[in-house]
A = this chain, B = another copy of it.
Amino acid sequence: MTKVAGSATARAHSNIAFVKYWGNRDQGLRLPANASISMNLADLHTTTAVEWNSGLDADTLTINGAIANETARMRVENHLDTLRARFETDRFARVDSRNNFPMGTGIASSASAFAALTTAACAALNTTVSERELSILSRLGSGSAARSIPPGFVEWHAGDSHETSYAETFAPADHWKLVDLIAIVSREHKRIGSSAGHETASSSIFQPARVASAAERIASVKTAIVGRDFESFAETVEADSNLMHAVMMTSKPPLFYWEPLSLAIMEGVRRWRQDDKLMVCYTLDAGPNVHCICADGDADAVAIRLRDLCGEIDILRSGVGRGAHVLPTD
């Protein structure tokens, strides 16, 4: 195994939030309005190779083998500028990023993408960077990327400054065998992306109450996860998702991410839990896809019901994932 100086490859996983991040107290630093909780998704990941190369006169970016569009390249270049300033280098980078999950499914790739990019870029500089600093640096690229750095079940501390806003593990990946079944309700591109959406959060008269009560839900979900108490977990996770979407729908202008099928699945999930006694609950990010979080033993039964309810839609499945990590070089 030979290490090529100046290059490294890292992998980071997507994550699904149980207490949501919506709105920033500082837009530029991506300091979130409230703390959030998530788990990494083992089976959805981004693998990114970074090569700092003194022969380049600009950063280059390929995504899934194709040259990225200018919007994506600029966002990566901005992030690399941050890393260049932090680690005092003036070299440009060649970045190659690949997702193992289909593009355009509405599954957020920015979390895994910026966590993998940051981890690979730092490793390629041969610097020693703590998990905490990797989380902080990833946050600057995409808020929820902070949560894709540590393994397993993660809390992103809101913090009150750049240095204090980072994520850390509170339970390892093997602590509780949860499964995320993601019903792909729509492959359409989001009309309003998360970054723009965060800016609208404060236009809802409900956002202050959501933010003020987040600490209570953080404590409740952590306790439920640590104690593997599915009933309590389900109640708070669904309530938190409803609170975020209520804020979205009451923003100016209102943001409606739910589609009719999303609503039908949410209703189904509540019924399957109450009537069929299945351990399943729902949560939705800034899109129409429904994440059905199941206890491992009930995931197959939930998948069958999802298929009955939805017909021929895609359903992705993932267990709990590890943190961002550098891959061995060939």
Instruction: List residues of A whose CB falls within 8 A of some B CB.
Output: 205-206, 208-210, 212-213, 238-239, 242-243, 245-247, 249-250, 252, 254, 256, 258-261, 263-264, 266-267
Contacts and interface: CB of A to CB of B under 8 A. Distances in A.
Contacts of A245: 249
A254 B282 CA distance: 14
Contacts of A243: 205-206, 250
A263 to B, nearest CB: 5
A313 to B, nearest CB: 14
B250 A239 contact: yes
A263 B249 CA distance: 12
The 8 closest A-B pairs by CB, nearest first: A260-B260, A246-B246, A205-B209, A206-B206, A260-B264, A260-B263, A242-B249, A246-B250
Of listed A205, A245, A247, residue having the most chain B CB within 10 A: A205
29 contacts: A205-B209, A205-B210, A205-B212, A205-B213, A205-B243, A206-B206, A206-B209, A206-B210, A206-B246, A208-B209, A209-B209, A239-B252, A239-B254, A242-B249, A242-B250, A242-B254, A243-B250, A245-B249, A246-B246, A246-B247, A246-B249, A246-B250, A256-B263, A258-B263, A259-B263, A260-B261, A260-B263, A260-B264, A263-B263
Of listed A210, A242, A252, A261, residue having the most chain B CB within 10 A: A242
A266 B266 CA distance: 18
Contacts of A247: 246
A208 B206 CA distance: 9
Nearest to A208: B209
Contacts of A256: 263, 266-267
A246 B256 CA distance: 12
A261 B213 CA distance: 32
Of listed A213, A260, A267, residue having the most chain B CB within 10 A: A260
Nearest to A267: B256
Contacts of A260: 260-261, 263-264
Nearest to A209: B205
Contacts of A238: 254
Nearest to A266: B256
A54 to B, nearest CB: 52
Contacts of A208: 209
Contacts of A252: 239
A254 B242 CA distance: 9
Contacts of A206: 206, 209-210, 243, 246
Contacts of A239: 250, 252, 254
A239 B256 CA distance: 12
A208 B205 CA distance: 10
Nearest to A261: B260
A49 B275 CA distance: 44
Of listed A247, A250, A261, residue having the most chain B CB within 10 A: A250
